[in-house]
Structure 1
Amino acid sequence: MRGMDGARNDNVKSRIAHRIHAKLEKHFPEKRLFLRSDTETRFIRLKPETQLVAWAGGAAVVAWTIVATAILLMDSIGSGNFRAQAQRDQLIYEQRLNALSDERDARAEEAIAAQQRFSSALSQISMMQTELLRTEERRRELETALDAVQGTLRDTMQEREVARSELAEITENGGAAAVASSQEGDGTVDLLATALAETAAERDMIASDAEYAINHAAELELELRLMEDKNDEIFRQLEEAMLVSVEPLDQMFRSAGLNPDSLLSAVRRGYSGQGGPLAPLQFSTSGGTIDPDAARANSILDRMDRINMYRIAAERAPFDIPVKSNFRYTSGFGPRWGRMHAGTDFAAPVGTPIYATADGVVTHASWSSGYGRLIKIQHDFGIETRYAHLNRIRVNVGERVSRGERIGDMGNSGRSTGPHLHYEVRVGGNAVNPMTYIRAGQNVF
């Protein structure tokens, strides 16, 4: 009984296999592959099942190739979009920085012009005050002279009365010498009266000039107050512009793990010359106290000097990116496959330009074991950058390069699995994450 059941099951399986074979044979008919040699001819039978397996394997390979290619294209498009967006952000920030710089220069020119007008007004007020004091002193002298003339006039009038009395007596007696004396006294009185009138007129003129000087001084004081208000507004705008310009630069250095004060001190030691347009302003004051406008102006100049020092330091620290064409980040900083990967990898075609990320001196430009063709650049502040796996080196040892200068071409030399740049940043000989510097620079430049 069991034997009959087994035979029935075998027959069912055989029929099913025959039907499947028949359907497969419609789409994949049996083929024979003949192999002929000098002595014999052989053939290989390609059953429908074998052809189905081969077709499925080929379809799987093609599907995998399409999916992988699509992923790579999407990754490349995304990387290009990210790079384009970063370039647009950099252009917008540069335009904003240029606009702030132009506004800062305009405000500085307005501040200098206002200070010149302020100094001119002070000089005019000082001259008016001096003239007013001189006029007042002259008026007092004239009043004293007038009092003296009036005293003399009174004495003369008294003498004239006495002379007239004497004249009357002499006239009665008929004396000719007395008449001559009376006429001389009248002439003296007329002369004194004329001098008195001229002195009074001069005194009135001096009083009128003094009143005009006082009124004009009040107008100058009002103009001076308006000028001080305008100067305060100009200084405030300049101070805000300086604050907006300094804070991002300060944050850039701190984000990179660098001490801004130490960096600026090092830059100043390298640029220790005297003079120049950023010398402190000196405004003369009559009382000898510190002029608040001069203090604010010098504070703005200090911040401008700090921005200038930041610019120099930024050129000497590697805040730029070594690859400016389209690329892909293929490996970051950190452990990889059980070993420390001391840099960041940028993948792009062979021959892609490689640029120096900061000013410095080339200390190595040749083959170096697993690095392949390697360039080392020594920068200030104890920083070194390395550019490995190059296809071509365009600089020599001892050559000084600038930030953004082309130093080589991307390649696949040394221990490398494909065309890419291995980029390292080392501080004091220790490797640090290059993206820390690159991201800090992208937030500012």
Structure 2
Amino acid sequence: MPHRGSSHVSATARDGLAARLKRWFPEREFFMRSQGQVRFIRITSRLQMIVAAAIAAALGLWLAMMVTMLVSRYLDARDRERLLQREAAVASAETRVSKYRNGLGEVADDLQKRQDFIEKMVESHVGALPNDLPKGTVSDSSAEAGKTVKKISMELPEAAGLARIEARQLAFIEKLTRFADARAARAETAIRRVGLNPSMIMASNRGAQGGPLIRLVTGPGNDVDPRFARLGASLERMSGLEDGLARIPNTLPASLEYISSGFGYRSDPFTGGAAFHAGLDFRGPIGAPIYAAAAGTVSFAGIRQGYGNCVEVSHGNGLMTRYAHMSRIGARVGEKVAAGAVIGQIGSTGRSTGPHLHFEVRINDQPVNPRPFLEARPNVFQEGRAGQPASNRS
């Protein structure tokens, strides 16, 4: 009897669930009219339940995946945090105090190795610093640093090694500042020789900057040692001028026989009348490569009236170069190109009497004579980039 009662309760529960499901998913009937005929479509309760179950299963699977991903990210973040804590413990205050207590000589040896590493890193990225650097661009603390080392050696002999390392660091910072000033001066001279304003180049390079504020603290009381601040300013100026210099046309756009038409007024080859020619024409065979005259971003690649197949490269500071009459375009809009990169092939498309490259230099969309840029190329731009590692030169 108890078994029979249990079965009865179970059957009643199933019947109640089935009744609720039928109320939630009643049979539905739709009709469609097509070409004068009416068709009825019946959707059974069973089919609706299957579709609802499939959707619920998919939603459950998605939620399970999301939970798994969040748990995985949490575990990864926890593991990284533990790793950072272990790494920080290596150089904790207690560790450093222990080293100092064991002897300043060992600390001095560690700092000496660190200084050697810094100098080698700078040399690998910047190159060997020459000895004949200009003296007047930054202060020379060598004499005062020498007095400090002597005084500390007499009064605190155990700290003499640290004083010598500090003096060496200051001397290195000042030498690096003079080096940056010398390179900035060469780049500025090169920019002026082609008729451009270095201040305009610098202002353009500052146009898009950002990031978190990380203050440079090098002394007590959150003070910045002026020698470090001076180095930062010099490196920023050097970088801005050299980046701008790299974007000034300085590479021949093609290996060609000769210039067949110059910049300025000439007799138009089609009408015979006086006309203005906005660039230089270089004669060459069809299919010969055309090179970007400077680093930049391709701003146009297509057909322009009169120019035929044409590529334009923007170099910043309102500076743009145009390459026309191509037989084939080899660059796409938005592509970043280096000086000397192949961007197309010589042809005779557009308003042209024969295969050649029409090359323009424009500043704020006004044509300027390309000759000063190309004629300065062999010496001015090499001098302007003197002192850079070979891998940084275009």
Instruction: Select the residue among 345, 352, 366 that pairs with 1:409.
Output: 345
Unaligned runs of 5+ in 1: 1-97, 106-117, 126-214
1:61 paired residue number: none
Instruction: Select the residue among 356, 360, 372 that pairs with 1:424.
Output: 360
Which runs of structure 1 show a deviation greater than 6 angstroms over 4 or more consecutive aligned residues?
none
Query: Is structure 2 residue 253 aligned with structure 1 residue 328?
Result: no
Instruction: Select the residue among 228, 231, 235 that pairs with 1:300.
Output: 231
Secondary structure of the 1:270 match is: coil
Kindly provide the amino acid, as one letter, of the partner of residue 244 in structure 1: A
* Cα drift, residue 224 of structure 1: 6.1
2:36 paired residue number: none
* Cα drift, residue 341 of structure 1: 1.9
Higher strand share: 2
Cα distance change of structure 1 residues 427 and 391 upon mapping to structure 2, 3 Å threshold: same
Instruction: Select the residue among 382, 385, 393 that pairs with 2:318.
Output: 382
Secondary structure of the 1:269 match is: coil
Instruction: Select the residue among 332, 335, 338 that pairs with 1:400.
Output: 335
Instruction: Select the residue among 274, 277, 297 that pairs with 1:360.
Output: 297
* Number of corresponding residues: 237
Secondary structure of the 1:252 match is: helix
Query: Is structure 2 residue 212 aligned with structure 1 residue 282?
Result: no
Query: Is the CA contact 2:298–2:314 (under 8 Å) kept in the aligned structure 1?
Result: yes
Query: Is structure 2 residue 269 aligned with structure 1 residue 339?
Result: no
Instruction: Select the residue among 126, 138, 143 that pairs with 1:101.
Output: 126
Kindly provide the amino acid, as one letter, of the partner of residue 409 in structure 1: Q
Alignment of 1:7-156 (within 5 A): 101-103=126-128
Q: How many angstroms apart in 2 are the aligned matches of 1:99 and 1:439?
A: 32
Secondary structure of the 2:203 match is: helix
1:241 paired residue number: 179
Cα distance change of structure 1 residues 231 and 99 upon mapping to structure 2, 3 Å threshold: closer
Cα distance change of structure 1 residues 333 and 314 upon mapping to structure 2, 3 Å threshold: same
Instruction: Select the residue among 183, 204, 209 that pairs with 1:266.
Output: 204
Kindly provide the amino acid, as one letter, of the partner of residue 444 in structure 1: F
Q: Which has the larger radius of gyration?
A: 1
* Cα drift, residue 409 of structure 1: 0.0
| 1:124-171 C-alpha deviation (Å, 9 max, x unpaired) | x8xxxxxxxxxxxxxxxxxxxxxxxxxxxxxxxxxxxxxxxxxxxxxx
Query: Is structure 2 residue 188 aligned with structure 1 residue 253?
Result: no
1:444 paired residue number: 381
Kindly provide the amino acid, as one letter, of the partner of residue 382 in structure 1: G
1:179 paired residue number: none
Cα distance change of structure 1 residues 274 and 312 upon mapping to structure 2, 3 Å threshold: farther
2:369 paired residue number: 433
Q: How many angstroms apart in 2 are the aligned matches of 1:289 and 1:413?
A: 65
Q: How many angstroms apart in 1 are the aligned matches of 2:257 and 2:313?
A: 22
Secondary structure of the 1:386 match is: strand
Kindly provide the amino acid, as one letter, of the partner of residue 336 in structure 1: R
Cα distance change of structure 1 residues 423 and 228 upon mapping to structure 2, 3 Å threshold: same
Unaligned runs of 5+ in 2: 1-122, 131-144, 268-273, 383-394
* Cα drift, residue 232 of structure 1: 5.0
* Cα drift, residue 302 of structure 1: 1.8
Cα distance change of structure 1 residues 334 and 243 upon mapping to structure 2, 3 Å threshold: same
Kindly provide the amino acid, as one letter, of the partner of residue 330 in structure 1: S
2:64 paired residue number: none
* Cα drift, residue 406 of structure 1: 2.0
Secondary structure of the 1:238 match is: helix
Query: Is the CA contact 1:384–1:425 (under 8 Å) kept in the aligned structure 2?
Result: yes
* Cα drift, residue 387 of structure 1: 0.9
Cα distance change of structure 1 residues 237 and 385 upon mapping to structure 2, 3 Å threshold: same
* Cα drift, residue 433 of structure 1: 1.1
Q: How many angstroms apart in 1 are the aligned matches of 2:348 and 2:194?
A: 30
| 1:10-36 C-alpha deviation (Å, 9 max, x unpaired) | xxxxxxxxxxxxxxxxxxxxxxxxxxx
**Structure 1 vs Structure 2: percent identity of aligned residues?**
29
Query: Is the CA contact 1:248–1:444 (under 8 Å) kept in the aligned structure 2?
Result: no
Higher helix share: 1
Q: Which deviates further from its counterpart, 313-322 or 414-423?
A: 313-322
Query: Is the CA contact 2:180–2:235 (under 8 Å) kept in the aligned structure 1?
Result: yes
1:351 paired residue number: 287
Query: Is the CA contact 2:329–2:344 (under 8 Å) kept in the aligned structure 1?
Result: yes
Kindly provide the amino acid, as one letter, of the partner of residue 301 in structure 1: G
| 1:207-248 C-alpha deviation (Å, 9 max, x unpaired) | xxxxxxxx8734257656655654454344323321221112
| 1:241-273 C-alpha deviation (Å, 9 max, x unpaired) | 212211121123223333322322222222333
Q: How many angstroms apart in 1 are the aligned matches of 2:162 and 2:312?
A: 61
The two structures, once aligned, show a CA RMSD in angstroms of 3.9
Q: How many angstroms apart in 1 are the aligned matches of 2:363 and 2:242?
A: 20
Alignment of 1:188-207 (within 5 A): none
